[in-house]
Amino acid sequence: MDLTSLIGPILSLGMIIGGLFLEGGHLASIIQGTAAMIVLGGALGALLVAYPLPDVIFAFKNLGVWLKNPSANPDEILKDILDLAQTARKESILALEKKRDGIKFEPLSKAVKLAVDGTDPNVIRETLETEAHVMLEESEVAVHFWEDFGAIAPTVGILGAVLGLIHVMENLDKPEQIGPGIAVAFVATLYGVGSANIFFIPIGKKIKRKAILDGHARAMVTIGVDGILSGLNPKVIEEKLAVFCHGHVGEE
């Protein structure tokens, strides 16, 4: 579990609500179901116009990526690759088959299988690079979806505020309702701006960062396996891969 994905929103909401109380406000004044329906429903409807349904479903599934730590551990991948390189150097490429069960990162396991099967190194490299490219492009769909959610929500919030003000204008003959009515009207704007900047845009940014880290891990596999098949010294392979290992380590 990525704790920052939970701590961040809790901290933001806590500070905002705490500030509201310090200013003498009340939580009940910002709880408005109608405003939430207008902002979230309106923004989601606009996104359904912009994105095919499979992309929308994929974007919501990527919330799991936002909540979890990256499955790829650069230090662990480096260790596995060096172990494979040592085995291939001392025994043979075929001896790598017995190492596959201990490999957690699926792209590396797949690359080892291709190598053991005698696949041409160029084909292995092209396969890994193509897969990495496609995975990054797919992640970009989810990134754009959540960033667009963050861009649209504040605008829909303004529409909600306008609707509320229209209702206030219809009741100008009732002065006692004007103040509360305006307050309720601006709750929609609060929801739009708040949800965009506390949730939607940050979700998109984190998914993008994790997609980049996954791309780095896949690049390690490509470089490492290519080095193994080329007969490079494990020390040389380690030097080439060390640049990817700067403490960006995640655990499930």
User: For 98-128, how does the pLDDT look when each residue is reduced to its tens digit (9 = 90+)?
Assistant: 888 888 899 999 999 999 888 899 999 999 9
Residue 146 has pLDDT above 70, yes or no: yes
User: Rounded to an integer, what distance in angstroms lies between the CA atom of residue 44 and that of residue 46?
Assistant: 5
Average confidence (pLDDT) over 51-67: 94
Selected residue with higher pLDDT from 33 and 193: 193
Residue 218 has pLDDT above 60, yes or no: yes
pLDDT in tens, 179-190: 777 777 789 899
For 40, 74, 129, the CA distances from 125, given in Å and listed in that order, are 44, 19, 6
Residue 175 has pLDDT above 80, yes or no: no
- 252 falls within a domain: no
pLDDT value, residue 249: 42
Give the chain's domain count.
Answer: 1
pLDDT value, residue 252: 40
Return the percentage of the chain with pLDDT > 90, whole number.
59
Residue 197 has pLDDT above 90, yes or no: yes
Taking the mean position of all CA atoms in its chain, how far away is CA 80? 26
The phi, psi pair for 171, rounded to 5°, reads -120, 35
- 223 falls within a domain: yes
- 80 falls within a domain: no
Residue 193 has pLDDT above 70, yes or no: yes
Residue 51 has pLDDT above 90, yes or no: yes
Q: Where residue 141 falls among pLDDT bands split at 50, 70, 90?
A: very high
Q: Where residue 251 falls among pLDDT bands split at 50, 70, 90?
A: very low
Mean model confidence pLDDT for the chain: 89
- 105 falls within a domain: no
pLDDT value, residue 71: 77
Indicate the pTM of the whole model.
0.83
Range from 90-94, 177-181, 228-232 carrying the lowest mean pLDDT: 177-181
- Which DSSP category does 246 fall into? S
DSSP-assigned letters across all residues of 56-119: HHHHHHTHHHHHSPPS--HHHHHHHHHHHHHHHHHS-GGGGGGGGGG--SHHHHHHHHHHHTT-
- 99 falls within a domain: no
The answer to whether the Cα torsion of 51, 54, 60, 63 is positive or negative is: negative
Residue linked to tokens 């980049």: 212
Per the structure, the complete domain to which residue 191 belongs is given by: 3-75+120-244
